[in-house]
């Protein structure tokens, strides 16, 4: 049985392992269908995609057209102005073959010019608010990458009452004092306001560097089951967060296996040993 957690104030009890449909970037439809079957067989009830994930919305939408939508559905807009974002949201609904998504998110809002535009007159905040008022989306979230993102999320939450946030989280990343301090501040605010906290990059080993890329993830992932177990169990040891799964359908079964067997959080010593043994590096510095 996969662990579940209330997704903030939405009223939805989501599996703590959320399927990240970036894995469907350019995947044959037959593989998409097989992956969706695997997800549903394992009880996954929350799927997250984005307008900028290649063909993901189209491929997922073809599955939804044929099978319905038996899960909480989230997508993202990477546009920063009202008109462009609203158009993109409507296009996402068309591609997904739905009249409404459960969650629309501001994608990768972690740079100052984008942030200023998003919250300024005619910014994307106006588009997502309009989408919610018109019933095109039920809830609104914000996402980001990089070391400054917890600080940006705190600023965003001071400006707008988001229902969810999304950002990187793993043991190596949390060894960065600046990141860890602001991540913990963000968790406290989200706890007080019942905001869902989604995490990404959970099984990051390092950037690809000079290693030949053999996965569809844009970072080098952990691959051995025992190593994935440690990484995921460490994340699940924080009872407040969700884990958005890595964007590679072939690693998915190992992530599901690890999530099913979670009981205790590994010690710092175990995680340090993992990091040293595999020469792990932070993806963001």
Query: Per-residue pLDDT tens for 15-33?
Result: 999 999 999 999 999 999 9
Asked whether the beta carbons of 201 and 169 are under 8 A apart, the reply is yes
- Sign, Cα dihedral of 200, 35, 74, 44: negative
End-to-end CA distance of the chain: 36
DSSP, collapsed to helix, strand or coil, labels residue 25 as coil
Structure tokens at 91: 């296009």
Say what the alpha-carbon torsion angle 75, 77, 82, 86 is, to the nearest 10 degrees.
-50
Q: What pLDDT is attached to residue 121?
A: 98
Q: How far is CA 278 from the centre of its chain?
A: 25
Q: What pLDDT is attached to residue 1?
A: 87
- At residue 199, φ and ψ (nearest 5 deg) are -125, 150
Q: Which CATH superfamily is domain 4-277 in?
A: NADP-dependent oxidoreductase domain (3.20.20.100)
Indicate the pTM of the whole model. 0.98
- Does pLDDT of 151 surpass 90? yes
Region of 22 on the Ramachandran plot (φ > 0 left; ψ -120 to 50 alpha; else beta): alpha
Helix-then-strand count for the chain, H and E: 10, 12
Give bridge partners of residue 14 from the DSSP assignment: 5
- Does pLDDT of 132 surpass 90? yes
- What is the distance between the alpha carbons of residues 279 and 126, in angstroms, rounded to a whole number? 45
Q: What pLDDT is attached to residue 12?
A: 98
Q: What is the mean pLDDT of residues 153-172?
A: 98
Q: What is the mean pLDDT of residues 196-224?
A: 95
Asked whether the beta carbons of 190 and 240 are under 8 A apart, the reply is yes
């Amino acid at each position: 049985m996969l662990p579940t957690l209330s997704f903030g104030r939405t009223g939805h009890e989501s599996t703590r392992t959320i399927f990240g449909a970036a894995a469907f970037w350019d995947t044959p439809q037959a593989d998409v269908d097989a992956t969706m079957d695997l997800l549903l067989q394992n009880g996954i009830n929350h799927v997250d995609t984005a307008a900028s994930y290649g063909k993901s919305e189209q491929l997922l939408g073809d599955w939804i057209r044929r099978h319905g939508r038996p899960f909480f559905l989230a997508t993202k807009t990477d546009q920063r102005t009202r008109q462009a974002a609203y158009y993109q949201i409507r296009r996402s609904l068309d591609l997904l073959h739905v009249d409404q998504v459960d969650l629309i998110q501001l994608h990768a809002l972690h740079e100052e010019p984008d942030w200023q535009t998003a919250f300024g007159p005619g910014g994307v905040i106006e588009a997502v608010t309009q989408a919610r008022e018109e019933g095109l989306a039920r809830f609104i979230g914000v996402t980001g990458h990089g070391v400054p993102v917890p600080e940006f999320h705190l600023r965003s939450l001071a400006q707008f009452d988001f229902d969810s946030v999304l950002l990187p989280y793993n043991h190596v990343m949390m060894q960065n004092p600046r990141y860890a301090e602001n991540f913990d501040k963000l968790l406290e605010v989200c706890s007080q306001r019942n905001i869902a906290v989604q995490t990404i990059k959970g099984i990051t080993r390092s950037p690809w560097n000079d290693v030949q890329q053999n996965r569809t993830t844009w970072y080098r992932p952990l691959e051995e089951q025992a190593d994935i177990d440690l990484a995921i169990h460490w994340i699940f040891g924080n009872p407040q967060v969700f884990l958005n799964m890595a964007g590679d359908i072939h690693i998915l079964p190992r992530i599901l296996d690890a999530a099913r067997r979670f009981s205790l959080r590994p010690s710092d010593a175990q995680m340090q040993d993992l990091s040293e043994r595999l020469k792990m590096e932070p993806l963001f510095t």
